[in-house]
Each structure stands twice: as C-alpha cells, then as structure tokens.
Structure 1
Amino acid sequence: MSSFFIKSKEKGKNTAVAKRKHDGDKMRAKKPNSKYNEEISSDSETESPIQAKKRQSNQDVEYEETPQEKKLRLAKLYLEQLKEDEENKAEEESFETDLVAGRLQEEVLEQKGKLQRLIAKDIIPPDPSEIRLLRGHKLPITCLVISSDEKFIFSAAKDCSIIKWDVESGKKLHTIPGGRKGTEDRHVGHTAHILCMAISSDGKYLATGDMNNLIMIWEAQTCKHLYKFTGHKGPVSGLSFRKGTHDLYSASHDRSVKVWNVDENAYVETLFGHQDAITGLDSLSRECCVTAGGRDRTVRVWKIAEESQLVFHGHEGSIDCIQLINEEHMITGADDGSVSLWSVNKKKPLSTVKQAHGCHGDAGLEQPHWVASVAALQNSDAVASGASGCSHNSQVQLWKCGQNYRGLQPLFSVPVSGFVNSLKFSSSGQFLVAGVGQEHRLGRWWRLKEAKNGIYIIPLKRKPPTPEETKITK
C-alpha cells in the first residue's frame, strides 16, 4: 500500500511538472519577442500589405544582412557621399573661377578706362530729414575730401582752417586753426584762403594748397604737419595724388602743373601749356592728370612720362571744375552754366547740357547759374554738379550718363542754401558730400547772407531689386 501511494505521489508530481512545462512552452510560443513588438496598434487597425512588406524588408535588412553585405552597402554609401562632395566642390570652384574672371575683366576694363557700372537708375532721392549739415567753419567751405574707408571727411575754408570730421557721428575729431597774414613764420597752418586739398589713396597723406602759393603736407591720421612745398608763383588751385602712389600733382594760377614726390619730400618737374589760371585738377592710376584752364576755355590731359599734352575745347565760359570718371572719361563745369562729358580720344565733348542749373535774372536778361563743382562716382554712370546762384535756387544735381557716355540725363536735385563749392562721392557711392558757403571759392563776386557755411552729407539710397532681378541673381 505504501509503495502504491509513494508511486502515485511521484506520478502526480511528474504530471504537474510536465503540465507546467507544457503550459510554459505554449505561452512562449504565443508571446512575441519584445524586439518585434515595439509598436502596438488597436484591434480595429489592420496592417496594409505595403506596410507589412516594408516592415518585413526592414527586418530582413536588420536581422538577415550578412557582414559582407553590410560592408558592401556602407561602401556604396561612402562612394555616393564622395561623389556628391566632388560635385559640390566642382560647383564652388566653377563659381570662384567665374568670380575671379569677372573681377579680372573689371580690372582690365578699369585700366582701359572703359568700365561703366550702371547704377544711376537705382539711386533714389533722399528724404530731406536724412540729409545732415555739419557746421564748424566760420567762412565759406572751399574744398573737401573723403578718406577711402569712408570714415572721415576733411574740409577747408576761407578762414584758413582744416577740420577732420567723423562721418558716422558728425563730430569734429581735429581742427587745424588758420592764422593771420604775416604770421607765416610762427604759425603751423595756413594763413591764407585754402583753395584745394587731396588725400592719398592709402589715407596716409593729406595735401592742402592756399592763396599764398603754398602746399602743406599733413599726416592724415594725426593731422600733424610734415612738409611745406614752395615753388608755385600763384595761388594753388588744384591738388591730386596719383592713385596707389604718393606722387602729388599740383596746379596753380601761375598756369603751371608741378609734380612732387611726397615720400622723398622732393620736387620732380614743372609742366607748362595753359594760357590762363588753372582752376581745377584731377588724376587716377595712370601717370597723367587732367586740368581745367579757366578763361583759356581748354581742358588738358598731361602725359607725364611722354612730357606731352592733349588740348580740348568745348565750353563757352570759364571752365571752373573738372573730375575724372574713369581713365578715359571726365566731366567739367563752367560759369556759362554748362556741364560736359569728355573722352580723352575726342577733342570735343561727347555731350553737353547747357543751363544745367537753370537761369536767374529778369526776362530777357537771364544769366545761367554758374557750375562751381562737379563730382563723379568712379567707373560708374553717376555724376553730380553743384550750382552757384541765388540761395533759393542753389542745388546739387544728380545725373545719369548714357551708354558709352553719349548723353546726360537728370535724375533728381537736392536743394541746398549757398554756393556749392565742392562735391565728392564716397568710394562705395553710399553718400555724397557737398561743401557749401556764402561765397564762391575763387572770389567774392557776391555774397548770400542767408546761406550757411557747412558740409551737407547726402545719403544715396538704392531701389530694392525687383522680383525678376532677384530670380536672376539667385
């Protein structure tokens, strides 16, 4: 009996263990692996054949890919990445090549004097509230220059003083006071009306010329006096540094042009040809300069190396101002009220606008407003002129040069009060600076008491690009 019960007990135990094992196997068979059960959908959702196929494909790649296949797949991805990188690099190199080629082409055109950036059409008239007036000189402004980095303006006046201005703040940074006549031996600065000034392209030197036949050289950064050049026998009326050098050209009422080496503090040579007082001078990179001959009514191009000159005729009055646009084109203004465009290859103007700033006086006795100053945005089609006349009609006129400088079209005018004795564009064309006074820079024919002696900073904004232009740019 006992053996029966023992045997029966062991049998029941084995049967229970077997049952639990069997149930466990069933549970494991029913329960899916957790790796395959990361997402659980509701009973109402059914898996589409595409999703099932995609899932199966992912499972096959992830769990059935052999090491060799994985290496091959990664190698293909790496090669595709290399190919894409090479294509991007080729595109960048092509873009850079085109950019460099464009710049080289511009440099070649600039050296030939044929570069003309068409920007005048995009310049819009400034809001009167945006025009700033800087005041500091007691007497009329006669000349001014802008540093190549556009941070500073230097101005000079009939009070014999020189002021260095900060463009952004409009504050005076330094003043070189003028002295009285007879104090030349003990006064550092000028003691007579300053008629002209120039700054070197690297911003190192500032040169100023006065009615006492003197040329002063200053350190532009500190306004420290460096040299005094003597030699002219009449008032110094024009100064210009050759671009990229410290060679200085000067013009005078003694009808001569002189060449100086500022680095060596040395005189080089003198050129003669004009038959009357020279009233203006300008130069760029070439070893030559251009001058306006006042009452002899000629414009001259001086070829320094060849020791020769070209003579041009066109204005009917005294040519009082001149400015180079590029190496082969220039603009002039005269007291007959006309503004002319010239090419160094033609002896007559390419284009002339008579009575460019209108007339004044009674009916039948009208007189054109004198053109006292001109300016050009280098290598572009934008130029400007400044008038002298009645205070209510004084203005700065912006012009657009035609294709190949074959015409002048008025853009807009900016009213100012007084004689516009000097005009300069900033190198980027972001603003235009006008030096204004109660009297003409070269004399005292009449005086406008209500005018203010100061500097006008005129912003030159551009039109936003049209959608078509934006698409083209992109």
Structure 2
Amino acid sequence: DVDSGKKLCVVPGGKKGTEERHMGHASHVLCMAISSDGKYLATGDRNKLIMIWDAATCKRLHIFTGHRDAVSGLSFRKGTHQLYSASHDRCVKVWDVGENAYVETLFGHQDVITGLDSLSRECCVTAGGRDGTVRLWKIPEESQLVFSGHQGSIDCIQLINEEHMVSGADDGSLALWGLTKRKPLALAQQAHGEQDAQGLQRPYWISAVAALRNSDLLATGSHSGSVKLWKSGEGFRKLEHLLDIPLVGFVNSLKFSATGDFLVAGIGQEHRLGRWWRIKEAKNSICIIPLKQKTTASSPETPDSS
C-alpha cells in the first residue's frame, strides 16, 4: 500500500524445480506487469517461467512456459488481457491470459531483449540490447519496424503515447522517437554526465526510463547519484532537462503513477543486468518520490520543490 507503506502480500520463493509444489518463483524475478483492469499480475523469472496471479489475493492462477531463456520484459495490452513477453532468447511471445493460452512468437532481435512496453494498439516495442536496435512489432500485420540511433547496448524503453517512445543505452544516451521515423527525433548524449573509470572518462549508463503517459514528462535513472526529470518539448523534437532528484544506487526501474502524483524507483546496489560494480552505500529498496504536494483546503496543488 503506497499510502501506508505496508506490505499487503508476500509470496515466498522456493528451490528450483519446485514451482509446481509451492506458490512462488524459484529464481530471480526480473519483470512484472499488471493488467489495466487490475485483475491479473504477471511475473517473469530467470528460470524462463511466467506466472499469472490474481492481483487482489496473490493466488497463483497459471504458469506459462515456452521461453528458452530468462524472461526479461512483460506488458499487458491496455484494455485487454493480452500479454506480451520478452526474453534473453531474443523472442517476443504473445499470450491470452484470460484463456491461459499461447498465441504466437515474434522473431527478429539478434541479442537479448532488455525491455518491452505496450499501450492500447495491438503492437509492442522492444529494446534489443547489444544488437543496437529498437523494434516496433505490429501483431496483426505480422511485421516489424527497426529503429537505430544509439551507439551502445539499449537497456530500457518506454512508450510515451501511441506515437512516441523513449529509450536509454549504456553509451549514456537518451533517445526520443516517433514511431514513424527510424531515427531519433531528439538525442541527449551523456544524459547523466560522465564518470572516472580507471582513469578514463566514461558516460553513466542509462539503466531505466519512465514516461508519464500522454504527457511531456520523462524520467531517467543511472548510478550517477540522481534521477533526472526531462521535458519532451517542441512537439517531441527536443529533450529539455528539468531537475535532478538525489538518489544513491543503481536505478534499475522507474514508473510514474497514473496521475503523476509520484514516481517509483527500484534501487539496487548492483545493475539489474550484471554484477559489474557494487555501490555499498546504496540500499536495495523501493523509493517513492512525491512529485506534487498534497492539497489542502487553503492552497492549490503545486509541484514539490524537493
């Protein structure tokens, strides 16, 4: 419960191979998604499994198998119970959760898929890691569009609306895309600055991106000591840095609340994709960042200055 900070439900894990006998995952949970009606929760793990849960009771309803490597991304199509999954096996799969049914597999990426997102249309977008591409998958047409513009591994992606998306890479760049253009509409190089790594200046990797749906507000995370807020200005053709929010650790995930009242950050001592560095002073935690002050009878709602 975000307001009280209390845990409502905990599903304990178990040993590998015992998933049929107990409720929880037996390996690292890498991704999750909740259906837009709040009925289903989907979780994906390093052991190639997707588990479907009743979101209200945390009762496990079904296990989907079929991926040949870790499940790295999940997203429900808005307004439906159609689920998209991405994996380190380089495939995207489509599932019908209401019918507990597999639908189809989409091929194209040449490296592990590191991120996935979808909205209302029957399509999804993916980040292809070191294959250097972002892809838009058009499900009914059985076609895909390939976008390129980053120089490094593309590690995170988020749709802003049905026409635009944002992605981040380990070359430090943040890209703003139109879904009809194969090159970025705007590109912020070294979006989180540079770090001194063994005497060399290297950009901070972009490890997470978030977009407040159907607005111009974006957020990015790295291990630079802050979450950055951005504005996608000039008709989504410019990235304007707004402010920094201090936060120690690897920002491994970011998500705005539906109303934009707060931003949730998943913080780790290590990067979610590998154990390259460890930030000892960081705490593995969920950080809730308020973006608006609570209204009172005498004062209107204003942005939180902190």
- Quick check: TM above 0.5? yes
Distance 1:180 1:371 in 2: 33
| 1:403 alignment partner in structure 2 | 234
Between 267-276 and 185-194, the greater mean CA deviation after superposition: 185-194
CA deviations on 1:79-109 (whole Å, 9 max, x unpaired) are xxxxxxxxxxxxxxxxxxxxxxxxxxxxxxx
Query: Displacement, 1:178?
Result: 1.7
| Equivalent residue letter for 2:159 | L
How do 1:192-341 and structure 2 match up within 5 A? 192-341=27-176
1:364 Cα deviation from its structure 2 partner: 6.2
Query: In structure 2, how many angstroms separate the alpha carbons of the residues matched to 1:176 and 1:364?
Result: 45
SS at match of 2:14: coil
Distance 2:216 2:273 in 1: 29
State the alpha-carbon separation in 1 of the partners of residues 219 and 82 from structure 2: 27
Distance in 1, matches of 2:248 and 2:39, equals: 33
1:358-409 CA-partner distances (Å, limit 9, x unpaired): 1111696111111110000011000000112xxxx32110001112101111
Tell me by how many angstroms 1:293 deviates.
0.4
**1:348-427 superposed matches below 5 A:** 348-361=183-196, 365-388=200-223, 393-427=224-258
Cα offset, 1:446, TM superposition: 1.6
TM-score where L is the length of structure 2: 0.94
SS in 2 for 1:361: strand
Rg larger for:
1
Secondary structure of the structure 2 residue equivalent to 1:403: helix
Q: Secondary structure at the match of 2:8?
A: strand
Judge conservation of contact 1:350–1:406 (CA < 8 Å) in 2: yes
Distance 2:47 2:215 in 1: 36
* Paired residue secondary structure (2:260): coil
CA distance in 1, matches of 2:199, 2:280: 27
Which protein is richer in strand relative to its size? 2
Please report the RMSD computed on the Cα atoms of aligned residues, expressed in angstroms. 1.5
Paired residue total: 295
Aligned position for 2:281: 450
Task: Assess if the C-alpha contact under 8 Å between 1:394 and 1:420 holds in 2.
Answer: no
Contact 1:436 1:454 in 2 (8 A): yes
After superposition, residues 45-84 of structure 1 pair within 5 angstroms as none
Q: Aligned pair 1:175/2:6, yes or no?
A: no
Any runs of at least 4 consecutive aligned residues in structure 1 with deviations exceeding 2 A, and if so which?
A: 180-187
Q: CA deviation at 1:450?
A: 1.5
Letter in 1 for 2:83: L
CA distance in 1, matches of 2:202, 2:132: 19
Counterpart CA distance in 2 for 1:363 and 1:194 is 32
Q: Look up the match of 2:300.
A: none
Partner of residue 268 from structure 2, selected from 413, 434, 437: 437
Secondary structure of 1:461's counterpart equals coil
Unaligned residue ranges in structure 1 (runs of 5+): 1-165, 465-474
Distance 2:19 2:138 in 1: 35
| 1:182 Cα deviation from its structure 2 partner | 4.2
Unaligned residue ranges in structure 2 (runs of 5+): 296-306
Aligned to 1:12: none
2:193, 2:13 → 1: CA distance? Answer: 36
